Amino acid sequence: GENVEQHPSTLSVQEGDSAVIKCTYSDSASNYFPWYKQELGKRPQLIIDIRSNVGEKKDQRIAVTLNKTAKHFSLHITETQPEDSAVYFCAAALTGNQFYFGTGTSLTVIP
Amino acid sequence: GAVVSQHPSWVICKSGTSVKIECRSLDFQATTMFWYRQFPKQSLMLMATSNEGSKATYEQGVEKDKFLINHASLTLSTLTVTSAHPEDSSFYICSAERGSGDEQFFGPGTRLTVL
- The answer to whether the CB of A79 falls within 8 A of the CB of A15 is no
Q: For chain A, what percent of residues have pLDDT higher than 70?
A: 99
pLDDT (0 to 100) of residue A65: 97
User: How far apart (Å, rounded) are the C-alpha atoms in residues B26 and B16?
Assistant: 32
Residue B90 pairs in a beta bridge with: B112
Beta strands in B1-115 (DSSP E): 4-7, 10-13, 19-25, 32-38, 44-51, 57-58, 67-73, 76-81, 90-97, 104-106, 110-114
- The answer to whether the CB of A35 falls within 8 A of the CB of A87 is no
Q: Is the pLDDT of residue B102 over 90?
A: no
DSSP letter at B88 equals: G
With cut-offs at 50, 70 and 90, classify the pLDDT of residue B41.
Answer: confident
Closest-CA residue of B relative to A87 is B41
- A58: Cβ contacts below 8 Å, ≥ 6 apart: A64
Partners of residue B102 in chain A, C-beta under 8 Å: 32, 34, 49, 51, 93, 95-96
Highest mean pLDDT among A74-78, B32-36, B49-53, B103-107: A74-78
pLDDT (0 to 100) of residue B101: 65
pLDDT greater at residue A95 or residue B44: B44
Candidates A37, A99, A108: best to mutate against B (most CBs of B within 10 A) is A99
- The answer to whether the CB of A22 falls within 8 A of the CB of A6 is yes
pLDDT greater at residue B49 or residue B102: B49
For the four alpha carbons of B18, A99, B40 and B109, in that order, the dihedral sign comes to: negative
Q: Is the pLDDT of residue A67 over 80?
A: yes
Q: Is the pLDDT of residue B34 over 90?
A: yes
Mean pLDDT calculated for residue range B57-65: 93
Closest-CA residue of B relative to A47 is B103
With cut-offs at 50, 70 and 90, classify the pLDDT of residue B100.
Answer: low
User: How far apart (Å, rounded) are the C-alpha atoms in residues B109 and B72?
Assistant: 20
- At A5-37, the pLDDT tens digits run 999 999 999 999 999 999 999 999 999 999 999
Largest distance between two CA atoms of chain B: 40
